[in-house]
Structure 1
Amino acid sequence: MNNIKVSFSIKDLENLTGIKAHTIRIWEKRYNLLSPDRSDTNIRNYSISSFQKLLNISYLNNNGLKISKIANLKEEEIPIKVREMASRGKVEDHAINALKMSMLNFDQVLFYNTYNNLLEYKSFNQIFYSVFLPLLNEIGLLWQTNTITPAHEHFISVLIKQKILINIERLQSLEPKPVSNTYVLFLPDHEIHDIGLLYLNYELRSKGKHTIFLGESVPMESLTDFFDFFDDITFVSYFTIYPEEENITPYLQQFSDLLLNKENSKLLLLGQKLSNYSENDLPKNISLYNSIENLVKEL
């Protein structure tokens, strides 16, 4: 039996759509837009079709259609109106909603169809910045609020990784530029969130850089081996969950002492764990970036 989530609380809907619970209640009462089931204690429960309908209503409302006008549409007219608006308007919002549905239903076909439709309008890197990154940011919040399970997060993350890997594969046969330092991309011990790092590998390869992608949970000591092969090394890492707050400063100091004492070695860092840090807090030869885009601009 498939254990797909088919029932949502009003708090789930608020987290998934960004529409306040108070607003959802008003839309129900004033416009009869949703008809939730109620428990014996009068707690609202919404079906997957109600969730999908609310996503569509939110999309139409965010794109200028008054809620009173939406309420006058027939049930079957709402998704048609969404498709019409998406075809001539901002496709990103519609795509993000479709990918949320894909995640909640573990629907790979919907993911691939949505991605392939986006490719008709956008390049891969445009899709990553305008659709995948906002979606991943939302997923992080949904996971923290228990709206989705780790299984949902892993499902959609793996599908996004597959697209990044396919695009990296297309670049693997390209020789790096003749004058190019080596970029070693790694995640620290216990860190497994590698989508941002994978995408950086794609950007570096597309710019003709020589990269070595090590991936998740790499012991610091093992990185010293690269100095036997390369003279000019830029390490790149992403701190999402680890190191833990109290261990970041000791980790970076140890990294500096062990790996950044050579003239041409440096470390580039990203990740939400570093949001409270400034470059003044960091050892020499460590640079901090608040987004992938900002790092890429300097490459």
Structure 2
Amino acid sequence: MSVYSIKDLEHLSGIKAHTIRIWEQRYDLFSPQRTATNIRYYNSDDLKLILNIAMLKNHGYKISKIVAMPYDILREEVKTIGLENQTYEDLITGLTVSMIDLDENGFSIILDQCIELLGFEEAMMKVVYPFMKKIGILWMTNSINPAQEHFISHLVRQKLIAATDKIEINTDGLLYLLFLPEGELHELGLLFANFLLRSRGNRTIFFGQTVPLNALEEVYHKLNPDYILTALTTAPESSEVQKYVNSLGKKFKDCSILITGSKVIGQDIEIPQNGQILNQFEDLVSHTEISILKA
């Protein structure tokens, strides 16, 4: 069973840990277990409850009214809100609850609602990736089971591939090579970047996970791409990132290199003259608009 700290509950619900503690005492909301060192921890039912409370509060319900509801009534209220007035946060909450329960059908229904309501690109930008970012933090701190993270990644990956396959390839567009370094397996961001580029009339070749630089270099000389895009999230090792970035600049000096990922964003990494850091997906969108004007 997954366990969560009070900071995890705060992170996912948006309700301050101090407030959660007050509600615990005043309304007897939870009965958290304690570690051998007397630190509170919570289970999946506790997390679902605080997520439901957060949604109702965000829609004007008073906490005193919420805690007086039987749980089945509380869930019905949440469902009604979800059907009538969905905000980004409501949708993210729904995805989170589906993840906790490993509810593939529920997750798919909410994801399809997001796409129908917002369009594919905005659904990914405003709901799915903020959700994945929250879940990624929990995964890195071992607060969720890796199976839950893989479950979600698989479903989102399917949607990204299906949406990209529907786009007609523009054979006259600028050419981008997309790849991940050796040892890097987190490809959802790169898959979405592939969608964004193709949807704006660019050509892309998607190499995906764990690509050796010597193999990429061979393809590079054969295809002469306009851009190379990569993401450094868990690889290479932090001590090797600057060396790796320098290698990209030297090996692929005749094209522009776009780099993203937590290993470079906000870090003291020197970027080669032909390189650029993308801090968020909106930066890639802006880049493509500028590139099209220059072409």
Q: Which runs of 5+ in 1 are unaligned?
A: none
1:110 aligns with 2:106: yes
Q: Is the 8 A contact 2:177 2:228 kept in 1?
A: yes
Select 1:36's aligned residue among 31, 34, 38: 31
CA contact (8 A) 1:239 1:274 kept: yes
Whether 2:195 is the aligned partner of 1:199: answer: no
Helix, strand or coil: the match of 2:263?
helix
Alpha-carbon distance in structure 2 between the residues aligned to 1:87 and 1:277: 42
Correspondence 1:296 to 2:290: no
1:71 — aligned with what? 67
Residues 118-161 of structure 1, C-alpha deviations (whole Å, 9 max, x = no match): 23312111110111111111012112332102222111111111
Q: What corresponds to 1:233 in structure 2?
A: 226
Could you tell me how far 1:190 is from its partner in structure 2?
0.9
Please show how residues 255-274 of structure 1 align to structure 2 within 5 Å: 255-260=248-253, 262=254, 265-274=255-264
CA contact (8 A) 1:188 1:219 kept: yes
The alignment status of 1:175 with 2:154, answered yes or no, reads no
SS in 2 for 1:192: coil
Conserved in 2, the CA contact under 8 Å of 1:15 and 1:142? Answer: no
Is 1:56 equivalent to 2:55 in the alignment? no
Match of 1:208 among 198, 201, 205: 201
Give me the identity figure in percent.
Answer: 34
How has the CA–CA distance of structure 1 residues 223 and 11 changed in structure 2, closer, same or farther, with 3 Å as cutoff? closer
In 1, Cα distance between equivalents of 2:40 and 2:241: 44
The structure-2 alpha-carbon separation of the partners of 1:207 and 1:9, relative to structure 1 and needing over 3 Å to count, comes to closer
- CA–CA distance in structure 2, aligned partners of residues 277 and 147 of structure 1: 25
CA distance in 1: counterparts of 2:177 and 2:23, whole angstroms:
52
Question: Over aligned residue pairs, what C-alpha RMSD do you find?
Answer: 2.6
Equivalent pair of 2:170/2:203 in contact (CA under 8 Å): yes
> What 5-or-longer segments of structure 2 have no aligned partner?
289-295
TM-score by length of 2: 0.86
- For 1:36, give the aligned amino acid: S
Determine the C-alpha separation between the residues in 2 that align with 1:116 and 1:106.
Answer: 17
Are residues 251 and 8 of structure 1, via their aligned partners in 2, closer, same or farther at CA, if it must alter by over 3 Å? closer
Which among 138, 144, 156 is matched to residue 160 of structure 1? 156
Partner in structure 1 of residue 121 of structure 2: 125
Q: Which one-letter code corresponds to 2:111 in the other structure? A: Y
Aligned length: 287
